Amino acid sequence: MRECQQTLAALELALGKEEFQCKMCGEFDRSHAIVELNSGAGGTEAQDWAEMLLRMYIRWAEKKGFGVQELDYQPGEGAGIKSASILIEGDFAYGYLRNEQGVHRLVRISPFDSNARRHTSFAAVTVTPDIEEDIDVQIDEKDLKVDTYRAGGKGGQHVNKTDSAVRLTHMPTGIVVACQNERSQHKNKERAMKTLRAKLYELQKAAQDQKIDALKGDRRKIEWGSQIRSYVMQPYQLVKDLRSDYETSAIDAVLNGDLDAVIESCLLQNVSGKTGKTSSEVE
């Protein structure tokens, strides 16, 4: 009897892995991933939360053996970040992360509140495949607004002393990309152009397929009622994905990069970046 149970458990595990791999059949699922984070409603709280998410994805990538490159980093006012973008390099990085796109909500006792009150913070995650440069996307230089600025980062020797960072704004679509990880302005512009090309390719393909929500995600406000996942630290501990209904009380482990279970729950159910249940259903 025990042998039968062990065999059945092994078969179920193998079947689960096969089913999971079948979900990794999208056009760009094997690609590297560009992950962008932006703080939302909540001021300093939201900026700190955005940095916590950035750390979570970096830790996850490191545990997978993936490479991580910082592309842009805009520090917050006093704590955290206003925005940041990283390139995660590894097989199926985009396939794993594509459903992380959306608004993430944190509930906790604020470390910035002298009265120790509970606060709710929001941050948005955008995930784009790092598409090869030979894709057929025409970009007219006349449509670009190019801004250069001094690279920020975490201070000290990492801060550039020249205006080497580059921000590109594609005027017809409003898409903005930035890069500051290279010391050369030329190299930063080259990296930013590659990211812009990938974003425009996604936009074109989505328009052709009439599935903009599926590929690009819902462009919702970074605030209450728009979240795809809630992370509650007080008065109890719970991470709940509002699309797949996956939940766990191991919030510290999740924030330290143990994301595979929640990622797989979304992929196996083929969910998109759309909002699930309302926040009141997880409080």
Taking only the tens place, the pLDDT of each residue in 128-157 is 998 765 567 788 889 999 999 877 665 544
- For residue 154, is it within any domain? no
Asked if the model's pLDDT at residue 280 lies above 60, the reply is no
pLDDT at 211: 42
The pTM assigned to this predicted structure is 0.75
pLDDT at 10: 73
Asked if the model's pLDDT at residue 189 lies above 50, the reply is yes
Residue 222: pLDDT band with limits 50, 70, 90: low
Nearest to 195 by CA among 141, 132, 147: 132
Residues 6, 2: Cα–Cα separation, whole Å? 6
- For residue 171, is it within any domain? no
Question: What is the domain-level CATH number for residue 233?
Answer: 3.30.70.1660
- For residue 255, is it within any domain? yes
Please name the residue ranges forming H helices in the chain: 2-22, 44-64, 93-97, 185-209, 212-216, 251-255, 260-268
- Higher per-residue pLDDT: 49 or 78: 49
Phi, psi of 50 (to 5 degrees): -60, -40
- For residue 25, is it within any domain? yes
How do residues 55-103 score in pLDDT, each as one tens digit?
A: 999 999 999 999 999 999 999 988 999 999 999 999 999 999 999 999 9
Phi, psi of 111 (to 5 degrees): -75, -10
Residues 283, 240: Cα–Cα separation, whole Å? 10
Lookup: tokens for 187: 């190299």
Section 92-117 average pLDDT: 90
- For residue 202, is it within any domain? no
- For residue 246, is it within any domain? yes
Nearest to 102 by CA among 265, 266, 281: 266
Q: How many domains does the chain have?
A: 1
Asked if the model's pLDDT at residue 215 lies above 50, the reply is no
Asked if the model's pLDDT at residue 6 lies above 70, the reply is yes
* Domain of 215, in residue numbers: 11-131+211-282
- For residue 187, is it within any domain? no
Q: Give 121's DSSP letter.
A: E
Residues 150, 188: Cα–Cα separation, whole Å? 12
pLDDT at 183: 82
- Residue 95, exposed/middle/buried by CB under 10 A (0-12, 13-18, 19+)? buried
Residue 216: pLDDT band with limits 50, 70, 90: very low
- For residue 251, is it within any domain? yes
pLDDT at 8: 76
